[in-house]
Amino acid sequence: MAFAAAANVLVLVVATPRVGAFGGGLAMVAASLVAGTANIIWLHRHFGIPWRGFYGWSRHDTDQLLAVVRLLTRRIRRVPA
């Protein structure tokens, strides 16, 4: 997590003066990517989980995504304008 904090501070210092609040958002995204990747590397090394287990897309993922989209579209239709 120290890597993520360092990435956050680095991008904040560089990007915020140039692009304002958008730079702060970029810093947060960069830190999240660093932290997520570090966690995946740790899990892969310590537990032997294959890379595809983290980055693969399965039929179940598609079904879950479609179920959420259907639920949201039903809720949007029910809300009176």
Is residue 69 in some structural domain?
Answer: no
pTM over 0.75: no
- Number of domains the chain contains: 1
- Closest to 3 (Cα-Cα) out of 29, 33, 34: 34
Model pLDDT, residue 81: 59
Q: pLDDT tens digits for 52-75?
A: 778 778 889 999 999 999 999 988
Model pLDDT, residue 79: 67
Q: pLDDT tens digits for 15-41?
A: 888 888 888 888 888 888 888 888 889
Is residue 65 in some structural domain?
Answer: no
Q: Are the CB atoms for 49 and 42 separated by under 8 Å? A: no
Is residue 78 in some structural domain?
Answer: no
Is residue 71 in some structural domain?
Answer: no
Is residue 62 in some structural domain?
Answer: no
Instruction: Give the domain range for residue 18.
Output: 2-56
Is residue 30 in some structural domain?
Answer: yes
